Amino acid sequence: MASTGMQIFGFVLALLGIMGAMVATLLPNWKVSADVGSNIITAISQMQGLWMDCTWYSTGMFSCTLKYSVLSLPAYLQTARTTMVLCCVLAAMGLCLASLGLKCTRWGGGRRSKRHAAIASGGCFVAAGFLCLVPASWFTNEVITNFLDSSVPESNKFEPGGAVYVAFVSAGFLFVGGSIFCMSCSGKRHGPQDLVLLPPPDKLLLQQQQQQLLQQQQQELQHQYCSLSPLDNKTGYSLQDYV
């Protein structure tokens, strides 16, 4: 089984992956204009994201426009929105389960419960990585296809932006983190499946001393009771004593 250090390493990678996925979802630079001219009254840089389009002007002005209509968006953009949101949700669920499945934590139940939590968190991370990889790949393919199309004007050609690369890296982090958590539950099982976490040594010693003291008291009471004579156990008078 994977060591505790490997699990912590996988948890850190998954945490970086979900942070990167959230940042990539919100960034407006999924694609950036390649060249839109040098006229002073035209824009010098255009960026398009999943939720808004932003424009830099040569005068130094910066403006963004939100995409309110969902049905007017192309299919790849609608898919990217949906899958990236699902990716963040699944990754967040995976983090909650991973915190229970870590060997270095005291919560989460016994060994068997921790194994199940680790497997579930690994599955969530791998699924989230897949959901993050699909929109990034599809979006990149659409941008490159449009860029290589000779019928598209030069002013309407775009290149993949920084958010796409962040999505690719985040997907890799989620894949690796999920794989580590899944591998942490493979291999032979030793000992009982459900082990109760022991208390600290000082508390365990105190409990043992209390049990020994209780056993000694019970033995003393039993010895005293057995040493009593039958006459001592009588609590009343007998009629034969007066005859």
At 130-163, the pLDDT tens digits run 999 999 999 999 999 988 888 888 777 889 989 9
pLDDT band at 188 (very low <50, low <70, confident <90, very high): very low
In a domain, 170, yes or no: yes
User: What's the CATH number where 140 sits?
Assistant: 1.20.140.150
Identify whether 175 is part of a domain.
yes
**120: enclosing H helix or E strand:** helix 111-148
User: E strands along 103-172, which residues?
Assistant: 158-160
Model confidence pLDDT, tens digit, residues 19-46 = 999 999 999 999 988 764 544 445 578 8
* Total tally of structural domains belonging to the chain: 1
What is the C-alpha separation between 71 and 156, in angstroms, rounded?
22
Q: Tell me if 57 is assigned to some domain.
A: no
Beta-carbon contacts of 13 under 8 Å, excluding residues fewer than 6 positions away, are 173, 174, 176, 177, 180
Query: Does an H or E element contain 9, and which?
Result: helix 4-26
By three-state DSSP, how is residue 88 classified?
A: helix
Q: Is the pTM of this model over 0.95?
A: no
Could you tell me the pLDDT band of residue 16, with boundaries at 50, 70 and 90? very high
Of 14, 3, 10, 4, the C-alpha closest to 171 is 14
Q: Is residue 100 part of a domain?
A: yes
The answer to whether residue 237 scores a pLDDT higher than 60 is no
The range of the structural domain enclosing residue 125 comes to: 4-28+73-184
Question: Is the residue at 197 inside a domain?
Answer: no
162 located within any domain: yes
Strands 31-33, 43-48: parallel, antiparallel or unpaired by DSSP? antiparallel
22 part of a folded domain: yes
Report yes or no on 155 lying in a domain. Answer: yes
Composition of the chain by helix, strand, coil, percent to 5: 60, 10, 30
pLDDT for 30 equals: 92
pLDDT of residue 203: 66
